[in-house]
Amino acid sequence: MLIGGISVLNLLLTMAVIRKLRDTASTGAGRAAPPDLPELPAGSRMPSFHGEAVSGEIVSAQTTAGSAAVFAFFDTGCSACKPTVPKLIEFARKNALPTGQVIAVVGDNDGNASEYVDELGGTATVIVEETMGSMARAFSINSFPAFVIAGADGVVVRSGHGGGTLAAGIPA
């Protein structure tokens, strides 16, 4: 008798858990946004940085101040990076961002950055540097692809790895 009662209780609890999981999945509740980069979480100040674009333009905290911006970090040796480039381009187009507000940093130790430069040209200000170069170090990037979205006030709005970071719009 005791075993039968425990079995019925176990069955009822299991059914309640399954119902709750189905409700959560259908409403979208519990679906977390991609986590922020621990080194640059939302609400933190943008780091001091300085880089030179392939066009010769200098990119720094001062040149991007006063405008919202997205910083994308790729590496030519990263297999997950190439598929996120179109997501960055689409993000820039949807948010009508000029090239000065879309900064793409390409780590390149093997001389293959031209593919990225060609694809991102006209959409982003592209900086090519050695893997884990000065820009990546300034932003504490330790893996690729990585994205940092900053507001015009110089505060990080969102950061993370992968194209999911670009799912929401950019602040005005």
Asked if the model's pLDDT at residue 11 lies above 70, the reply is: no
Rounded to two decimals, the pTM is: 0.79
Q: Do 3 and 74 belong together in one domain?
A: no
Sheet holding 102-107, edge to edge: 125-129, 102-107, 69-75, 146-150, 156-161
pLDDT reported for residue 27: 39
The 10s digit of each residue's pLDDT in 49-98 is: 999 999 999 999 999 999 999 999 999 999 999 999 999 999 999 999 99
Q: What total of structural domains would you count in the chain?
A: 2
CB 128 within 8 A of CB 113: yes
Output the domain CATH number for residue 90.
3.40.30.10
Q: Do 22 and 58 belong together in one domain?
A: no
Residue 42 lies in a domain: no
Residue 45 lies in a domain: no
Q: What is the mean pLDDT of residues 9-22?
A: 59
Domain membership of residue 143 as a residue range: 50-166
| DSSP, res 13 | H
